[in-house]
Each structure stands twice: as structure tokens, then as C-alpha cells.
Structure 1
């Protein structure tokens, strides 16, 4: 998640402006700078309004970005981890109120008050990270570092964004389910949702569909699966909090599954989208893997993800079913473009046009 990204979302629930009547493709053409590649999808309810690529997914091969191009969705991974925890709760395997010691065994005195809920809401007092994303680190190594880290605040006291906390949640998923993290998600979330192109290593992607990422100097950094990782996915500084690969079409399928009870019953979805932890310097609160913004007219759930090369944003209007997901494999170019500069306008504009075109 990139703090300070979308100030979103009061405007998202206002009536569409006349400009919202323009096609999404025209809006993209005048809003996006010339150069980056990526994909955009927009939907209302269970109907795709628009799905299209812009620019190139692989410059060396001349491959255009498309609706089924595979990207790293980065911190948007957290919503899958949160949904998996709630799935385990509906299965009677854990409770979000459980202390982490119930699933991890003995923990140091300073960590005994941490619950699963605290990890989900970034209120456990854990650091943002415990090392480089691509550092060779096992599950038990990650847990040892997390439990030995100095508390930054008391459990439940305040929101402190923590990738490490979501990796601890991934470890809990494995210990409670007896399955690997990705295996559990694939069986209990992705398959029921009809998602065929989301995961770390299990989907059978044609690698030519994977977008190559580019740095601010325009240099190719390879495809997401070419970065250092274990045979079953990222090492544990990234597992559970980022690094999931997916497509725009699969992100729509996830949205569609969350509209109904395909992956989670109503009560569990209520917990998923309840704003629990106020976020500093913001009018938003964090739910379980989602940032929440509410107005008198409706509620927006959103999350973004970014690294040094790519940027993605996923936003869902919970009251009228409008959604958008967009991602770029080249978000930053020295002295030419920075997609964070247009992130808010892009997300809001797509939502408005999806709402207008589906009316």
C-alpha cells in the first residue's frame, strides 16, 4: 500500500458529471501520460463495462498490454489473506478475537496481547517490514523476527501499516489449515470465484502473458516470477502481504464473488468491510485488507499496491456494485511521468464512467 495515495472517495459517491458520459477509453487516452503500459477493467455488478490494455506489456517483444495480461498486484494481496482468515473462521477453525498464541504457540510477553484482529487491522504494533522482499527467509524465520521485534505501540492502540503482520497471518493460515498459503487460497477462494489466473505458482500461465516491469530509467526488471523466490512462491518477507499475480479479468471475478456469497457468507463480508482502525492523516479507516471510506451516500472499499516499478489500484463501491482495477508495469519514468500523480483522478474517473455507462 502506498500511503497518501488516494484521498478518494467523497467525490466518488457524488452524482456523475456530464464528462462521465464519455467512454472509458477516451477518458484513459486523455488522462494517462504517453509511455506506460497497463490494463484497466471496470464493472457494475456482474457485468464488465470495459476491459482494455494500454501501452506494452513487453517492449522487447512488442507485446501489447491486454485484458488477460498477468501482473503483480502487490499489496492488493492483503485482501486475499484477510478473506482466507475469515474463511477459516466460518469453517470454525479460528476466531479473529483469538490471541496469536492460540495458533503460534508461546509468544514473548510483549506480544501476548496481539490478536488475529490486530494483525488484520494493522494495529498489532509490528514494524512495516522485517527485511527485503526478496531476502531468503523461511516461515519460521519470519515468525522469529516478528515475535522478537520491538513493539511500536500497544496492541489495538493505533494503526501502523505492517507488511510483516500480514505475513504472520499467512503463517497462521498455514498452521491452522494444514495447507500451504497459496493452496488454501486456491481451493477455498479462487476456485469458487472462478479465478483461473491468480496465485503465486499454481496457475498454468503462458509466460508471454506476464508483463515485464520497468524501472524509472526505463530498464527492464523482468517478469514478476523472475525475482528471487522459493519454489512455492515468494519468501516470507513478501508472502501473504504482496506478490500475488493476477489479471484484470480475475480481479473482476473476485469482485463478482464478493457481491454474493460465493466465497464468504454475509456476516463474514460484513466483518471484511467494517471500518475498524482510523488511519492517521486521513478520513478513512482500515477494515480487513481494505481501506474504507464512507459518506452519507455510500461506501467505497479500496486498496492500492506499489513497488519501485509498478502501481495498481482496486476500488469497489459497496452500495451500487461499481468497481475498477487498474495496473501499470511502468508507473515511474524519470522527468516524464509518475502515475501516482494521476492515481486519484484515474480511479475516480473510471468509477464515474462505469456508473454512468451502466445506468
Structure 2
């Protein structure tokens, strides 16, 4: 999402560009209706690529393959811009848009325009078949509760919806850059690209963040993530310079999520009606 914001700032794309602008071979009935802003808000209605993968597949799928699969789809879950449905397909398509708009590989663009300017020297993007020295390996618990190796799956090599390996020190640099607008102003961008979430939560989503802001409370950004061997979560309140963050190399480590919420409530960081876990469950 930050790559897209930077490209918009550079005038290389518009949030209102549709998919046909970047992918002329996309099914026209779908491609002309879905815009960049719809991908950034999970409101595109585009199909979930994971559900189309054959059970017998063992090779890791790449973002370009995802776009090729989606380009043949003639239907969406709903008309673009009318509903919210979290789907990793959106960000796989965005990864390919970054490459089309910039003329660079995604890895080169994010390294040059984000990692290096922020001094994130320990951060790497995983590429299929290439190792990252000294990185943490992923684990999961079996039915008996014992830890077993569970590091990669066939969807672990799509860069748009994952593949970032970082450290606590580097994430703090990212956080510092984010709240101090060192790359772009996220708060300004969210006013342009966001969607109201379903239900009574009053939460919103845009540009890779669940967020909440009202007349009495400041902007709060939050998200969690989980793969076959990792769990993580973050809550940021920029105006108060609060950062709550956890990284775990154990899948579905929900105990840490609950500890995070306990810290938030203990320190009275945000309105007690704010249900962080309910919001992030929209990703499931």
C-alpha cells in the first residue's frame, strides 16, 4: 500500500485507474469496474485466489500467476465499491501494479523507496527459492500441543500480501517514518482511500490498515496477520506515539493477541468500546 501511495505521489498512477489500465488482457467486464482504490480497501469483490488452487499443487504460487488466474474470471463476489470482503487477491494485484507503474521489480522498488530511506537494513522480501540468512523459522502446534516445523506453504511466496521479514528494530524505524510522514502522510491518504467496515464498530479500512477515529478519540491503526508458521499484530496511535507490537514464529498464537489487548486497556490507550479483536477477525 505504501508503494502505491508513493507512486500516486509521483504521478505514476491514480487511485481511480482501473485494472484494464495496467492489465489490458483482464476480463473487460471485471477489469473496467475495479479501481486501484477498491483493491486498497478490500472492496473490489475480486475472487479469492487461494480457493482456486488445486489440492495437488506443491509449487509456490507467485503474484503474476495470481493476476493471470484472476484475469480470466468473469464474475466477482459483488459490484466493486459496494461491500467489504478481505481478500489477499487484492494485494497480489497491487504488487503487480507497482511493477507495471514503476518499471521496476517490486523488491527493487520497495528497497529503494522505503527500506533504504528509512534505514531498514535488516528487512528483506522473501523470493521463492531464495534463502534469507539468519531469519526466524515458523512453527505450529500439532493436536497434542507440541511444536512442529511449519515454515512455508504454497501461498508463502506472494509478495503483495506478505513475504516481509523484519526485526523489532527495523519495525520501529518503519513506525517512526509512518507517524512522522517521512514518506507520505498516511492520515491525509486515508481521507482519500477508505471504506466503512460492516457492523456497529464504526471502524474503517484503507491502505493496509484497519483504523478508527471519531470526534473524541484520535486516529488508531491496527492489523494482525497469521500464516502457517507465524503470527503478528500491531496497534499504533500516532498522535500519542503509542506502538503496541508483537511478532511470533508460532502460527495462530492468539494468546499474544489477548495480552496486547490487556496492555491497551491497562494503559487506557483508547476508548474501552474499541474492540480490536472483533475488527481484525474480519480478515478471516
Q: TM-score of the superposition, structure 1-length normalised?
A: 0.64
- Residue 316 of structure 1 aligns to a residue whose secondary structure is strand
- Residue 319 of structure 1 aligns to a residue whose secondary structure is helix
Tell me, in whole angstroms, the C-alpha distance in 2 between the residues paired with 1:221 and 1:273: 42
Tell me, in whole angstroms, the C-alpha distance in 1 between the residues paired with 2:252 and 2:5: 35
Alignment of 1:1-359 (within 5 A): 82-108=1-27, 109-131=29-51, 135-149=59-73, 150-201=75-126, 206-207=133-134, 210-217=135-142, 218-221=146-149, 224=151, 227=152, 235=157, 238-264=158-184, 266=185, 269-272=187-190, 276-281=194-199, 282-295=201-214, 296-330=216-250, 332=252, 338-349=255-266, 352=269
CA 1:140 to 1:322, structure 2 compared with 1: closer, same or farther past 3 Å? closer
- Residue 215 of structure 1 aligns to a residue whose secondary structure is strand
Q: TM-score of the superposition, structure 2-length normalised?
A: 0.79
Unaligned runs of 5+ in 2: 270-284
What residue number does 1:22 align with?
none
Residue 324 of structure 1 and its aligned partner are, at CA, apart by: 2.0
Listed one character per residue, the Cα deviations across residues 157-196 of structure 1 (whole Å, up to 9, x for unaligned) are 1111010110000001011111111211010011111111
CA 1:188 to 1:94, structure 2 compared with 1: closer, same or farther past 3 Å? same
Q: For structure 1, which segment, 318-327 or 269-278, has the greater mean C-alpha deviation from structure 2 after superposition? A: 269-278
Residue 342 of structure 1 and its aligned partner are, at CA, apart by: 3.9
CA 1:351 to 1:136, structure 2 compared with 1: closer, same or farther past 3 Å? farther
What is the aligned residue count?
257
CA 1:272 to 1:186, structure 2 compared with 1: closer, same or farther past 3 Å? farther
**Structure with greater strand share of residues:** 1
Unaligned runs of 5+ in 1: 1-81, 353-359
Which structure carries more relative contact order (alpha carbon 8 Å, separation 6+)?
1
Contact 2:91 2:160 in 1 (8 A): yes
